[in-house]
Chains A and B, each alone.
Chain A
Amino acid sequence: MRELAKKRLQSNLQQSAKYLALVFNDFFVLALIFIFGAVMFWYAQVMKVLPVKAWYYPLVLSALLWLAYLPGKLVTLLQTADRQFLLATDDRLGEYLAPMRRYSLVLPALLLALAGGIMYPFASLKMGLSNLNYFSLVLALFLAKVFEQGAVSRSLTFDHKVKQVTWLIRLVLLALLLASLYSLPNALYLLLALAVIAVLALRAWKNSAFDWQYAIDYEARRKETVYAGFAMFTDVKERQVNIKRRKYLDFLLPPFGKESPNSFLYRRTLLRDPEYLNLLARMTAFAVLLTAMIQDPVWSLLLSALVMYLTVWQLLPLGQKYDQNIIYRVYPIAQKDRGQELSRVLAWALLLQTGLIIIFWLAIMPGQFAWSLLLLVWCGLLAKGYLPYKTQQLAKKSRYKKRKK
């Protein structure tokens, strides 16, 4: 079991490294450096003018360190097939989970070290905490994480109490943090002692029957969160798409009989598949955010136009979504006008996006409203020029690919 865990950790690390390299691309790293630099500069300026020992400092320090403590769930890397192949290994799960727990602590340790480092000047200069006290505080938080992950690994049972156990530990920790920082500084030693006791208490935790399905679902949800993060920057092929019914969006669908089979499929996919709907929502929100931040009609117009173009460009793969679906290929669905049908559905999505951007523009810059109407012209150009050309090209390519097979 230990070997299996090591093998899985290694391949997980390789997979994460692959996606992290794509996430932390040159542009993003540059942007992060600028943002981090700006925040640190602001922090240094604030530190110069802040009074010493204000009543709310323990509250601020507790909240920030506690927030840094939250990320980092227990990584188990359990897979659906384990329900079948590892079912008889309950008694050896400890061997499997021990390296998993150690691996799971890497991210929280890094985050706590980073947050602890950033908050150190504030804690020592403005709150007057001694170095030893502050170090004890950060160490206690790390030990609390060790306890939390140990408790989670012991709660993957038929009681289904992982969420309750996790939040109980987190809330007790927040209460202890506040109590410690608002009482005598030496109380931090008490916090450290409590964390040590908690880690030792894990050894005495009585294990009940391991619930494989619950544990597999827990890991699947964790991985989905990680993949969702990666998916904001790149395509994640391992991601399981969770389709939702979204009945509240049905008013956007035309009545039955008013559309072709292809349009019927494209429109519903756009509204229910999170890959497409989230993209549309995210890009629209981005355009609105840019408009709100810049508040300059020319720049807002140019950037919104760019966002609109990028949106339809990223939505184009919708046309190939069903190419490998056997029922789609067997059904007598006409392929001749497929490009035009995709173009019409994407134009409809673009119009929806343009409408929303214009409405928010009206709220943000009512005086410059006339400028926003130019977005309608741009929408028309994309819908009548770019989209028909591009979708026709893609339809041809798709037919060619089919012939090649």
Chain B
Amino acid sequence: MTLEISHLTGGYSGIPVIKDVNLTIASGEAIGLIGLNGAGKSTTIKHLLGLLRPQAGKITLNGINLAEKPAEFKKLVAYIPETPVIYPELTLKEHLELTILAYQLDPDKAWDKAQELLTMFRLADKLDWLPVHFSKGMQQKVMIVAAFLTDAQLLVIDEPFTGLDPLAVANFIGLIKEAQESGKEILMTTHVLADAQQAIKTYAILNQGTIEFTGSLDEIRDHYGLKASDSFDKLYQLLYQEQKNA
């Protein structure tokens, strides 16, 4: 099982935001996509989810081409958006039921797993509530529970830490580690490296729509000439300088 993004160029209304992006995530691997605002992280994710049509290149997961078999591809993908997207009309229980229906999961097994996840994120007593009235952090937990319920092969996670309390962050990191151990692929965008590095060892630096470098945090330090004492904030300053000089 491998995700392969090959020579992907895309964006909005014919204007390329990402250019010739190449990225491979093998089974059991997690990659953090980092870069400044506007670098193309969300655009890459939108292409990966089939929400935008590439201008060039292709995306395959386990050999299934997204452009050719979108329905099959989507069954293998779960997504946690940066801003929670809730169905205002559905209760928490119904959000999970819809996930079970859409991903054609076995209801009994799925509910056993859902109970575990709901207890972990302290949502078990809120099944009959409308999550649209939850706080942002609680809505984000609903997104996490629904995504991990799917048992999807590829997890696409966009800035997940905003609004989560430290307990939820720890639980979430634990789930990512478990997913890796069970052979899933994970792509996560984040600016919160302190939390992300507990679960993710490899990072891809996206700058001006292109992946500049892929490697561990130490390798990134070497590549950009950062000292061991330098904070990673300096990396963002360097990327900004590159943008200005371009």
Enumerate chain A interface residues (CB-CB to B < 8 A): 241, 243, 245, 247, 256-257, 259-261, 264-265, 268-269, 271-273, 322, 325-334
Contacts and interface: CB of A to CB of B under 8 A. Distances in A.
Interface string B33-59: 000000000000000011100000000
Given A256-B107, A265-B87, A326-B85, A333 B102 contact: yes
B116 to A, nearest CB: 20
A303 B169 CA distance: 60
In this complex, which of B71, B102, B107, B129 has the most chain A Cβ atoms within 10 angstroms of its Cβ? B102
Given A245-B130, A247-B128, A260-B101, 10 more contacts: A245-B128, A245-B129, A256-B97, A261-B98, A264-B101, A265-B87, A268-B94, A326-B49, A329-B51, A330-B77
Contacts of B77: 330
A273 B89 CA distance: 7
A327 B107 contact: no
B85 A327 contact: yes
Interface string B125-138: 00011101000000
B74 to A, nearest CB: 4
5 contacts: A264-B94, A264-B97, A268-B90, A273-B88, A329-B49
In this complex, which of A259, A271, A329 has the most chain B Cβ atoms within 10 angstroms of its Cβ? A329
Contacts of B97: 256, 264
A325 to B, nearest CB: 6
A243 B90 CA distance: 9
A249 to B, nearest CB: 12
A245 B88 CA distance: 10
A268 B74 contact: no
Nearest to A336: B71
A264 B96 CA distance: 12
B121 interface: no
B102 A261 contact: yes
Contact of B102 (A256, A326, A331): A331
Interface string B64-101: 00000001001101010100010111110010011101
Contacts of A257: 101, 107
A261 to B, nearest CB: 5
Contacts of A330: 49-51, 74, 77, 79
Those 7 A-B pairs whose CB atoms lie nearest each other, nearest first: A332-B74, A331-B102, A272-B89, A332-B75, A243-B88, A327-B85, A261-B101
A331 B90 contact: no
A260 B101 CA distance: 7
Nearest to B49: A330
Contacts of A322: 87
Given A261-B102, A327-B79, A331-B102, A245 B107 contact: no
A75 to B, nearest CB: 28
A322 B97 CA distance: 17
Contacts of A243: 88-89, 130, 132
Contacts of A271: 89
B51 A326 contact: yes
A325 B85 contact: yes
A281 B77 CA distance: 40
In this complex, which of A259, A260, A330 has the most chain B Cβ atoms within 10 angstroms of its Cβ? A330
Given A261-B102, A331-B74, A332-B74, A268 B81 contact: no
In this complex, which of B85, B89, B128 has the most chain A Cβ atoms within 10 angstroms of its Cβ? B89
B103 interface: yes
Contacts of B89: 243, 265, 268-269, 271-273
Contacts of A331: 74, 98-99, 102-103
B42 to A, nearest CB: 11
A292 B85 CA distance: 45
A273 B71 CA distance: 29
Contacts of A326: 49, 51, 79, 81, 85
